[in-house]
Structure 1
Amino acid sequence: MVLARRKVVYLLLVAALVFFLSPFGWLLITSLKAPSELRAIPIHWWPHDPSWDNFRQALTFFDYLGYARNSLTIAGVYSVLITLASAWAGYGFARLHAPGKRFVFGLMLSTMMMPQIITLIPTYLLFVKAGLVNTYVPWVLWGLCGAPYLIFLFRQFFTNMPKELEEAAIIDGCGQIRIFWRIFLPQSWPVVATSLILSFSWSWGDYVAPALLLDDDRTTLSIKIATGYVNEHGSGLFNLVAAGSVMYIVPVLVLFLILQRGFVTGTATSGLK
């Protein structure tokens, strides 16, 4: 009975794996097709002659690595800053005492229910008046503000840490900043890994903000993949779009593979109290 139940669970897990990986599999297959196969009727499910040269063309059709550098700069700076800012705010909500702290924390969490599209135009107008359009400063400012969800994760993690650690550090003469940097932040590696993966993915995959704030020469790879692969007639080269998109996924996968153990631990334990 137990063996049969285990087989059923494995079959369900395999089915779920196939379901979730099928879009990426179709993207990979499309990236190996010739343009004529994309227009063929009936549909060619598998390329007759897989064209690996599509990846070379996708890299050289425009300055792929240059735009990738723009994306890495934005996503790297944003993810590091928002992780540190969220950790500091989470530490304050978890360990410091101030009147109205619970109200402010609840107010911050309520902002998670506000769709970002509501603040899009006001934010754009503020950046225009401040002269920050076509610069990377908006991502620095967003990073320094932290994120409500990440602040919540850090707050929950820091709340569960033993009070004796903090008391021992205070006896040794440490202030709150040293306690945060020397004790709490190093201990919160699972949440740090979670925050880095999530925030890097948010910024790396963002389309709206770069399209709104950056010119073509400073924009990100996500914008260029969506708009740059066109022929002389203005038609889309969808096999190159697919090849470029496959390579576009690689940095996020690499980051997740490096930090996956901390990510799983962080998402599993940070919400416990």
Structure 2
Amino acid sequence: MVFPRRSGVYMLLVALLVLFLSPFGWLAVTALKGPAELRVLPIHWWPHNPSLGNFVDALTTFDYLGYARNSLTIAAIYAVLVTLASAWAGFGFARLDAPGKRLIFGVLMSTMMLPTVITLIPTYLMFAKFHLVNTYMPWVIWGLCGAPYLIFLFRQFFSNMPKELEEAAIVDGCGTIRIFFRIFLPQSWPVIATSLIMSFAWTWGDYIGPALLLDDAHTTLAVKLATGYVNSHGEPMGNLVAAGAVMYVLPVLALFLIMQRGFISGIATSGLK
């Protein structure tokens, strides 16, 4: 009975894998088609003359690598800063005592239910008032403020660590900051990997923030992909959009493959308590 049940689970997983990968597969196939094939009905699943030239054109139609550098800069800065800030806040909520700590944590978690669209205009007005529009400082500030969900992950992970480690460090004369950087932070690699992957993916794929706060020279690849591939008539070139989008997902995919073990472990262990 075990073998048929296991085979059924494997078949279900394979079916789900095909279902989840089918949009990316269709995107990759579209990236190999010529512009004429996109207008032919009925739709052909596989191009008659597949060509990698679309990828070359996607790189050269505009400064693809330059905008990718902008995206990488913003995503890397935000990912590192928000991970450190969230780890520090999570450590405080997990291991330090203060009046009203539970209330503050509850208010922090409730902010995750606040739709981002509500804060768009106040955010722009605030950054414009301090002359931070068309700079990368908003992402630095956002990173230093931490993220509620990541604070929750770190708080859950640090709550599960043995109290004896902290007590031994205090006996040895360590203060709170040394305890955090010497004991807790090095032990939290699974949650660090999770935070880096999630925050990098959030920022790398963000369209609204760069479109609102950055001009065309400083904007990110996510914004440029939406507007950069048009022909002389102003019509979008779908095959180039698809080629650019395929290359666009590769950095996030590479980051996940590198850190996937820590990511899975971090998600599994952060909700134990």
* Count of matched residue positions in the alignment of Structure 1 and Structure 2: 273
Mapped to 2, the partners of 1:190 and 1:58 lie a distance apart of 36
Corresponding letter in the other structure for 1:59: L
Aligned-residue sequence identity (percent) comes to 75
In structure 2, runs of 5+ residues without a counterpart are none
CA deviation vs aligned residue, 1:122-177 (integer Å, no higher than 9, x gap): 11110111111110000000000000000000001001101111111111111100
Aligned residue number for residue 164 of structure 1: 164
CA deviation vs aligned residue, 1:192-213 (integer Å, no higher than 9, x gap): 0000000000000000010000
**Greater shift in the superposed pair: 6-15 or 182-191:** 6-15
CA-based RMSD of the aligned residues comes to: 0.6
Mapped to 2, the partners of 1:5 and 1:45 lie a distance apart of 34
Mapped to 2, the partners of 1:109 and 1:168 lie a distance apart of 32
CA deviation vs aligned residue, 1:19-61 (integer Å, no higher than 9, x gap): 0000000000000000000000111111011111110110111
SS of the residue corresponding to residue 109 of structure 1 reads helix
SS of the residue corresponding to residue 35 of structure 1 reads coil
Aligned residue number for residue 180 of structure 1: 180
Mapped to 2, the partners of 1:33 and 1:179 lie a distance apart of 57
Map residues 217-256 of structure 1 onto 2, 5 A cutoff. 217-256=217-256
Deviation at 1:89, TM superposition (A): 0.1
TM-score (structure 2 length as normaliser) = 0.99
Aligned residue number for residue 106 of structure 2: 106
Corresponding letter in the other structure for 2:81: L
Mapped to 2, the partners of 1:178 and 1:144 lie a distance apart of 20
TM-score (structure 1 length as normaliser) = 0.99
In structure 1, runs of 5+ residues without a counterpart are none
**Greater shift in the superposed pair: 82-91 or 110-119:** 110-119
1:120 aligns with 2:120: yes
Aligned residue number for residue 86 of structure 2: 86
Aligned residue number for residue 59 of structure 2: 59
Map residues 61-76 of structure 1 onto 2, 5 A cutoff. 61-76=61-76
SS of the residue corresponding to residue 77 of structure 1 reads helix
**Greater shift in the superposed pair: 112-121 or 190-199:** 112-121
Aligned residue number for residue 151 of structure 2: 151
SS of the residue corresponding to residue 68 of structure 2 reads helix
SS of the residue corresponding to residue 13 of structure 1 reads helix
